């Protein structure tokens, strides 16, 4: 599924120049050659800063697998993000990077087996919510139109588990709201997602489905249950977010710096010609 999404986005990237040629802002020529891209800058190397918020659904990748799980709903996810748009090779305006800091939740919710009735638990808890802080650094792919853009993000993240709340009929005493010596607090892995934005310069409203594509930070040490058989529990979290971003520069057209440079060159050239 992920490979199909990436292939689709790559195909859209290849078609983007012809699409942009039809929907450029007023005053731009419908020409997307490398020379025009370089000199006119269909999308400037602008920055944007914003806030994102929304709910999260969580579960676990487990080894061994086979335990019946449900999605655990957490209403609070919040992040601050900085986006820098850049042109690849100075002519392809579809790339950039995104960095930020996020407060969210991981967790799990085990359900009774339909046949045997067995319900798995960790430290006696069939359900747990874990608050986290994370720092993602992602490659930011984007395709821009006048009032709309598509986005694809992917990159590594580093996280730390701040606290835990365990729920169940037989939670180990003293661990209802505490980590055990067998729990891992640090988390890291691959972060990413898809989204789109509605744009009314200088404001952008982003809608994203973003989260852990793959975590390499298990919730507990491998020999948690047995010295002879290792087990792992990696978090899978999907955040559905709405973000409000403010552009820190012009998205289309000549920037103030470019206009000042051109004015300086005109004045300097006139002075040279008058000698």
**Mean pLDDT computed over 138-155:** 93
Cα four-point dihedral sign 106, 111, 113, 114: negative
Token pair of 103 as six digits: 């407060």
Residue 21 CA to residue 31 CA, distance in Å, equals 6
pLDDT of residue 40: 47
- Contact call for residues 190 and 155 (beta carbons, < 8 A): yes
**What do you get for the CA distance between the two ends of the chain, in Å?**
67
Three-class SS state of 18? helix
| CB contact set of 229 (below 8 Å; sequence gap of 6+) | none
- Tens of pLDDT, residue by residue over 6-39, are 454 445 444 444 444 434 444 444 444 333 333 4
pLDDT of residue 142: 92
Other Cβ atoms within 10 Å of 41 Cβ, number = 22
Residue 44 CA to residue 162 CA, distance in Å, equals 39
Q: How confident is the model at residue 261 (pLDDT cuts 50, 70, 90)?
A: low
Q: Is the pLDDT of residue 262 over 90?
A: no
- Contact call for residues 137 and 154 (beta carbons, < 8 A): no
Q: Is the pLDDT of residue 225 over 90?
A: no
**Mean pLDDT computed over 50-76:** 93
Residue 231 CA to residue 224 CA, distance in Å, equals 7
Q: Is the pLDDT of residue 51 over 80?
A: yes
Three-class SS state of 7? helix
Residue 157 CA to residue 65 CA, distance in Å, equals 25
| CB contact set of 174 (below 8 Å; sequence gap of 6+) | none
- Contact call for residues 175 and 168 (beta carbons, < 8 A): no
Residue 44 CA to residue 164 CA, distance in Å, equals 44
Three-class SS state of 181? coil
Residue 24 CA to residue 106 CA, distance in Å, equals 42
pLDDT of residue 86: 87
**Mean pLDDT computed over 162-175:** 93
- Structural domains present in the chain: 2-273 (2.40.160.20)
| CB contact set of 154 (below 8 Å; sequence gap of 6+) | 138, 139, 190, 191, 192, 213
| Lookup result for tokens 């939670």 | 171
């Amino acid at each position: 599924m992920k490979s199909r999404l990436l292939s689709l986005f790559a195909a859209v990237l290849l078609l983007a120049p012809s699409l942009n040629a039809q929907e450029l802002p007023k005053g731009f020529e419908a020409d997307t050659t490398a020379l025009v891209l370089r000199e006119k800058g269909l999308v400037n190397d602008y920055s944007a800063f914003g806030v994102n918020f929304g709910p999260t659904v969580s579960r676990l990748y487990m080894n061994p697998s086979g335990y019946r799980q449900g999605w655990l709903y957490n209403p609070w996810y919040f992040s601050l993000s900085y986006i820098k748009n850049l042109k690849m090779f100075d002519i392809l305006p579809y790339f950039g990077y995104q960095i930020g800091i996020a407060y969210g939740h991981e967790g799990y919710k085990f359900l009774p087996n339909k046949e045997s009735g067995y319900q798995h638990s960790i430290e006696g808890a069939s359900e747990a919510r874990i608050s986290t802080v994370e720092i993602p650094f992602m490659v930011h792919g984007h395709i821009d139109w006048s009032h709309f853009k598509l986005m694809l993000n992917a990159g590594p993240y580093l996280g730390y588990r701040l606290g835990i709340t365990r729920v169940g009929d037989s939670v180990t005493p003293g661990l209802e709201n505490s980590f055990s010596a067998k729990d891992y607090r640090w988390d890291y892995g691959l972060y990413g997602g898809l989204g789109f934005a509605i744009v009314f310069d200088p404001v952008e409203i982003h809608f994203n489905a973003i989260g852990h594509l793959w975590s390499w930070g298990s919730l507990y040490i491998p020999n948690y249950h047995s010295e002879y058989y290792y087990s792992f529990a990696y978090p899978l979290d999907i955040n559905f977010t709405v973000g409000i971003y403010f552009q820190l520069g012009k998205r289309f057209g000549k920037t103030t710096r470019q206009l000042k440079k051109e004015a300086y060159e005109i004045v300097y050239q006139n002075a040279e010609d008058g000698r």
